[in-house]
Amino acid sequence: MIRVGCCGWAVRGGKAAYFQVFKLIELQSTFYKLPRVSTAMNWRSLAPPDFEFALKAWQVITHPPSSPTWRRAGIKPEPGREDRYGFLRPTEENFEAWRRTLEVCRALKARVCVVQTPPSFGFSDENVKNVRDFFSSIERDGLNIAWEPRGTWNDHLDVVRDLCDSLNLIHAVDVFRRNPVSSHPICYIRLHGIGRGEVNYRYKYTDEDLRALLVKVDGLLSSGFKEVYVLFNNVHMAEDALRFMRLVESGLS
């Protein structure tokens, strides 16, 4: 099964218009500041029954307070305790941030939560330990967790594979840059544009790109994945995702 959507309410006309086009969204706003649980429940009630929410985990868990995006976090760390936030540290502060994230996931009836770690949280013995300690300690309540490691982790995919498989994590990737290494039955693809570096948000996917993407997705399904999520995260995401969805429906590659 292939699920296609956008990273955000990308369709002109807001939520109602988005619901008419897609059956999947990855919420980005939850990374910056969590909504109230009542707000998340309202979003769920407005969506069609077969609509699926995924969301990006709150940055408090993954990014330190020095990150510029923290301006929108809605909390202010106690002076002298800044090092207890972010980087998947197994601290009460991060566990509380996860509990609040999980409450929003429950309200949305989300199946997948994306935990994206920044390049500054690179591969190291300490960070391997943080990944193990954090993910082995949190409650999941049936939620699937997709970890998107950035930076030097991508030079140590054998370690990423071991962490994902031992901790039951999905390895979230951009398949135009690398293939997933986890054994989880769900494959979660986040597309950030083609180009040098990890992201090129202004990129517009060509028809040839989308046909190549479908070949990659078909190959992933043939290799044993049961479901493939394809989330576009670029300036032209609504148009590109719709074009890819039509390609999937046509069965052409």
* Pairing mode, strands 186-191 and 227-232: parallel
Q: In this predicted model, what pLDDT tens digit does every residue of 184-227 receive, in sequence order?
A: 999 999 999 999 889 999 999 999 999 999 999 999 999 999 99
Percent of the chain with pLDDT over 70: 99
Q: CATH classification of 2-184 is 3.20.20.410, yes or no? A: yes
Q: In this predicted model, what pLDDT tens digit does every residue of 68-119 receive, in sequence order?
A: 999 888 888 989 999 999 999 999 999 999 999 999 999 999 999 999 999 9
CB-based contact 20:245 (threshold 8 Å):
no
User: Which residues are registered as beta bridge partners of 189?
Assistant: 173, 230
Q: Is 58 helix (H, G, I), strand (E, B) or coil?
A: coil
CB-based contact 61:115 (threshold 8 Å):
yes
pLDDT, the chain, mean: 96
Q: Please give the model's pTM, rounded to 2 decimal places.
A: 0.96
Considering only CA atoms, which of 206, 208, 213 is closest in space to residue 191?
A: 213
Q: In this predicted model, what pLDDT tens digit does every residue of 36-60 receive, in sequence order?
A: 999 999 999 999 999 999 999 999 9
